[in-house]
Amino acid sequence: MNKVVLIGNLTRDPELTTTNSGVSVCRFSLAVTRRFQSSDGERETDFINIVVWRAQADNCHKFLKKGSKCAVVGRLQTSSYEAQDGTKRYTTDVVADEVEFISSGRGGDGSSDYQVPQESKPQEKQTTELEEIDDDSLPF
């Protein structure tokens, strides 16, 4: 089984490109802090490359930015290429199946830049006292 679950903050703004056939691809890097402290008491951070495809890629590019907190569920994928100096280089990416936006990245405090339009905000409900209900009138 090849499954990865990560929660972290974007280290840079997402980059959106399209393939020759018009499929959207979004790439970003996620900073994920380790659960345990090192011997000197510091918590280390891993920087993990994420790749997102199609409509989800468009949404990531539109709604995420540097500092945004998100959760990613996906799979590890390794590949290699030949560098300009002739050496073989290896890369490891997480190909995302799911991306959940936790915050938009205003300093990592969980606040969001998205504002609900005034006309879309729900009206405040008026509270009323609960009425006593006869148990015989309940359908169960």
- pLDDT per residue over 46-84, tens digit each? 999 999 999 999 999 999 999 999 999 999 999 999 999
Residues 6 or more apart whose CB falls under 8 angstroms from that of 43 comprise 33, 34, 35, 36, 37
Predicted confidence (pLDDT) per residue in 75-100, tens digit = 999 999 999 999 999 999 999 999 99
Closest Cα partner for 70 from 113, 7, 11, 114? 7
Which domains, and CATH codes, for the chain? 4-36+44-107 (2.40.50.140)
CA R_g for the chain? 22
Contacts 24+ apart (CB under 8 A), 29-38: 30/6, 30/70, 30/72, 30/94, 32/6, 32/7, 32/8, 33/8
pLDDT at residue 127 greater than cutoff 60: no
What is the pLDDT, as a whole number, of residue 103? 86
Task: State the alpha helices, DSSP H only, in 26-115.
Answer: 54-63
CA distance 6 to 45: 12
CA distance 79 to 81: 7
pLDDT tens readout for residues 106-122: 544 444 444 444 444 45
CA atoms within 13 A on the CB side of 76: 11
